[in-house]
Amino acid sequence: MTRRLLLALAGVLAVTPALAPRRAAAEADARPDAGVLAAVTAQEKPLRETLAELVNIDTGTGTVAGLARVEAILRARLEALGFTVDARPAPTFGGNTLVGTLKGGGSRRLMLLVHYDTVFGEGEAGKRPYTERDGRAYGPGVADAKGGIAVILHTLAALKTLGIPDLGTITVVFNPDEERGSRGSNAVIHGVAADQDAVLSFEPSFAVEEASDAATIATKGINYASLTVTGRSAHAGGAPETGRNAVTELAHQILQLQDLGDPGKGTSLHWTVVQGGTKSNIIPDQARAEGDMRYFEPGEYDRVLAEARRITQAHRVPDTQVAFGLTKGRPPLPANPETRALGERAQAIYREIGRDLRLVEIGGGTDAAYAFQPGSPGRPVVLESLGVVGGRYHSPEEFAVLDSIVPRLYLATRLVTQLAQPAGAGR
């Protein structure tokens, strides 16, 4: 991997004599920091060992024993790096949110964030332990987000090796319940982030099927829709006309509500769970549906709720009662100029090692949205998806790309150096 990266760098830095006068200034900005590159390259093998250790412990949300084992590992690793560590309970599903703080001499404040729970059940690590093959690492949570944990820990190790002066306060937050909405940790994330100049979040680079080398500059919020219909039961053969079919009315309402989304704004509402009836010979008196709403613009919550309640006043089955509800979940990380500017800085750093970094907006919600402070524009600036490059998340085929380790360490280390130093102190 190291040899391939250095060859790529050689190709980027090679300049023909004819082009040299025009490209000299551009190349000055594109050269890698040799000290940082050497420090993070030395962390590749240790990072893979850390990743294997983490992946081989079950930490599905609510798997308290496994979460406690990883929590102990993370605490020990942070303390060995000089951090003071505080554990704050996340009572909804169990486990603790770890908040590690390393106070430097500078005034800048930087937060590194990622979760240590996964979507996988107990016993999955035993069935599918960490493995490497064909340039990829596999195992439950290998990219989402244990790869992000490993990138944070080994970025900090590289920084310790480099001994960069004038770094400000660095805060690390590891939470145990992101995969269930961070219900027990979101207040801690929001509160700690409020005092930061910048927040870097280490979810993996998001992809549907194949790897995608990107950073995320906006994420959608998530709301949970509910639709409940109450009718009247009756014998389906003997006296169906005396009943009021709740399932029929539910189907009518779902069709009426199918255009609540707004593609132009990136808003969607999909009905994903439907329940109704008890027996085939009874006209059902109850039916309900659950839906998933995704959105970028905060005002979409109020619009969808108001429109849905207006629409559901029109019934197909008389004498039925219909109730529409919309519960707020994870907020969006909205597109904003500060995050885009930080993303462009990340792109420039990636170009130093001959790689391209896309800036994307995604439909999935992340804890970066809890770190964002909508009442304080521009502070902290938040950037997401700085973990490993991978794909097929939340599936048995989830993978992390091994060749992404050194580039991602380089990106994170350079970003931390720039953001945690006084303005103008670092290249």
Assign residue 71 a region (left: φ > 0; alpha: ψ between -120 and 50; beta: otherwise): alpha
Closest CA to 184 of 176, 172, 195: 176
CB atoms within 10 A of CB 210: 11
178 has catalytic annotation? yes
**Does 3.40.640.10 match the CATH number of domain 222-328?**
no
**Distance between the two ends of the chain, CA-based, in angstroms?**
26
CATH 3.30.70.360 positions along the chain are 222-328
The pLDDT value recorded for residue 148 is 98
CATH 3.40.630.10 positions along the chain are 32-220+332-420
The pLDDT value recorded for residue 2 is 36
What is d(CA 421, CA 400) in angstroms, rounded to the nearest whole number?
31
Candidates 33, 58, 178, 213; catalytic one: 178
What is d(CA 117, CA 66) in angstroms, rounded to the nearest whole number?
9
pLDDT tens, position by position, 126-157? 999 999 999 999 999 999 999 999 999 999 99
- Residue that is written with structure tokens 């700690």 in the block: 192
Candidates 58, 117, 352, 367; catalytic one: 117
pTM of the model: 0.87
The pLDDT value recorded for residue 1 is 42
117 has catalytic annotation? yes
One digit per residue, pLDDT tens: the chain, 427 residues? Answer: 433 333 333 333 333 233 233 334 444 457 999 999 999 999 999 999 999 999 999 999 999 999 999 999 999 999 999 999 999 999 999 999 999 999 998 999 999 999 999 999 999 999 999 999 999 999 999 999 999 999 999 999 999 999 988 899 999 999 999 999 999 999 999 999 999 999 999 999 975 555 579 999 999 999 999 999 999 999 999 999 999 999 999 999 999 999 999 999 999 999 999 999 999 999 999 999 999 999 999 899 999 999 999 999 999 999 999 999 999 999 999 999 999 999 999 999 999 999 999 999 998 899 999 999 988 887 899 999 999 999 999 999 999 999 999 999 999 999 999 999 887 565 6
Q: Give residue 128's identity as a one-letter amino acid code.
A: R
| CATH fold group of domain 32-220+332-420 | Aminopeptidase (3.40.630)
The pLDDT value recorded for residue 426 is 58
DSSP secondary structure code for residue 118 in this structure: B
- Residue that is written with structure tokens 């790897």 in the block: 211
Contacts 24+ apart (CB under 8 A), 323-327: 323/226, 323/227, 323/228, 324/225, 324/226, 324/227, 324/253, 324/257, 325/225, 325/226, 325/227, 325/228, 326/223, 326/224, 326/225, 326/226, 326/293, 326/301, 327/223, 327/224, 327/225, 327/226
What are the residues facing 102 on neighbouring strands?
Answer: 170
pLDDT tens, position by position, 337-367? 999 999 999 999 999 999 999 999 998 899 9
Query: Which whole-number Å values give the CA distances from 82 to 59, 77, 159, 226, 417, in the listed order?
Result: 26, 9, 12, 48, 17
